[in-house]
Amino acid sequence: MESNGARTKSPERLVFFSDAVVAIALTLLVLPLTDLVPELAAEHKDAVDAVLEHWNQIFSFVLSFVVIARMWWGHHRIFEEVRAYSGALALTNFCWLFTIAVLPFPTELTGQYGTDRFTTLFYIGTILVSSACQMLLVLIVRRDPNVAIRETSVSDRWLANNVLSVVALAIAFVVGAIRPALGYYALLLLAIPPIIARRFSGRDDD
């Protein structure tokens, strides 16, 4: 039976592979900054200029590092509740990995082009799709008894937090389309969903 087969599909290899992709993406984020050093040395500039003249790139690096770290933590929590992966879970996970692997590209664009409208939307849009994929992972674990460790693996609070995060990013995307300069600041809206989600449960299961 398919349900019995699903139980034999250990998520360990999927998790290890996902962790490796995330680690590579985090490493790629910093490479543009390291490439600045020989350029500055060739121009006989002071080391401090690497910070003073490239704060946009440093900001985009830090922002993306935090975003990926947040996404990885959510992904880690999801797979703690998975006993066996399904085809839907694996496919959605690869879609999520695609967004993580792509993120260093819009990050570099952000460092070079700043508040350009296309760059802003590309960056926020990538995070939005990544968050949507993570929400789908949560829904799959919640609904598929062959995947989840137990029926209560995903609480209402957890699901609400993921759904509201997607909504917050969609709002940030709209803000970025209207006022690109405010788009990145609109990402601070991600601090709101956990607060609202607490209304769904009194448990500390964030």
CB-based contact 134:78 (threshold 8 Å) = yes
pTM of the complete model: 0.84
Cα dihedral sign, 54-57-58-59: positive
pLDDT in tens, 176-203: 999 998 888 888 888 888 888 777 665 4
Reduced to 3 states (helix: H, G, I; strand: E, B; else coil), residue 82 is: strand
pLDDT tens digits, residue range 97-119? 999 999 999 998 988 888 899 99
Nearest alpha-carbon partner for 164 in 115, 206, 123: 206
